[in-house]
Amino acid sequence: MHTDNRLNPLKHCPPTTDEILASAANIIAERYVNKDAFCNPEATKQFLTYKLGGYEREVFAVMMLDNQHQLIELNELFYGTIDAANVYPREVVKAVLAVNAAAVILAHNHPSGEAEPSQADKLITKRLTDALALIDVRVLDHIVVGKTPVSFAERGLL
């Protein structure tokens, strides 16, 4: 039986931009899965740009890492507005404990494209670093995704 593909427009739809970016992030993660690449701010910024760069609102995520700094999972924990997201340290600690992570990399996007960390970004980083230290989990970095991503570790803010 012959099927007319014109009757099913979903059959040959090109991938969306979000699907392409998600695929790119997965390729980057697979490339570095057996390496300590997530100790490298450049590789981490590239990965997170593909994961968080396309959002039109602020998204706060946590990369959960094992004791070899290999990715366990990326968990998008909080969703906000175009210029803010409420972050709750208790929820971050719960998520980290749920996967038994040894270290984390914090990340969020600035939909405006301006990745310069705000005072609120610095304060939440300090609160999370202090909370996670109580359960012996290291915060390796906090990446702010924008046109040019910013690493707290590279800036000496951690």
Classify residue 65: in a domain, yes or no: yes
Classify residue 130: in a domain, yes or no: yes
Question: What pLDDT is stored for residue 43 in this prediction?
Answer: 84
**What would the pLDDT profile of 72-122 be if each residue is shown by its tens digit?**
999 999 999 988 889 999 999 999 999 999 999 999 999 999 999 999 999
Classify residue 133: in a domain, yes or no: yes
User: Residue 157: left (phi > 0), alpha (psi -120 to 50), or beta?
Assistant: alpha
Classify residue 145: in a domain, yes or no: yes
Q: How many domains are there within the chain? A: 1
Domain containing 108 — which CATH number?
Answer: 3.40.140.10
What backbone phi and psi angles, to 5 degrees, belong to 85?
-145, 135
DSSP 8-state symbol, 146 = S
Is the confidence at residue 1, as pLDDT, over 50?
no
Is the pLDDT higher at 13 or at 153? Answer: 153
* Residues spanned by the domain of 75: 14-155
Classify residue 2: in a domain, yes or no: no
